[in-house]
């Protein structure tokens, strides 16, 4: 890690600065995590903040997967009804044509 390398050359980076730089670069979707880390007293260790970030990423990925599965299930539920309706309309049109031809 760069912080360790800087420490080795007598230019250490404080835990406070590492944590603040970490959360400053996060997108808005991490707002609740940023707030949680900022309000810890004392400020979390950098390693703890990184662990919290990994856990949040895992949680977000799991939520996205569940939402995708739910969306696919909703599409699967709609599709058979649409096919039934389309087939039924097609059959009714054919029956009307056959009836006129008779």
Q: What local confidence, expressed as pLDDT, does residue 27 receive?
A: 96
2 vs 12, higher pLDDT: 12
Domain range annotation of the chain: 2-101
Q: Is the pLDDT score of 17 beyond 70?
A: yes
Q: What mean pLDDT comes out for the span 6-27?
A: 83
Q: What local confidence, expressed as pLDDT, does residue 61 receive?
A: 93
Q: Any idea which of 17-21, 33-37, 73-77 has the lowest mean pLDDT?
A: 73-77
pLDDT tens track for 4-15: 655 556 667 899
Burial of 88 (0-12, 13-18, 19+ CB in 10 A): exposed
User: Residue 52 and residue 35: Cα distance in Å, rounded?
Assistant: 12
Please tell me what DSSP assigns to residue 87: H
């Amino acid at each position: 890690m760069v912080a360790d390398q800087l420490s080795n050359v007598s230019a250490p980076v404080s835990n406070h600065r590492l944590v603040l730089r970490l959360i400053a670069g996060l997108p808005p979707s991490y707002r609740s995590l940023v707030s949680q880390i900022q309000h810890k007293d004392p400020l979390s260790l950098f390693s703890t903040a990184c662990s919290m970030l990994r856990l949040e990423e895992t949680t977000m990925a799991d939520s996205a997967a569940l939402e995708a599965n739910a969306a696919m299930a909703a599409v699967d539920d709609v599709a058979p009804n649409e096919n039934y309706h389309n087939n039924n309309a097609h059959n009714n049109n054919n029956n009307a044509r056959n009836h006129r031809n008779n």
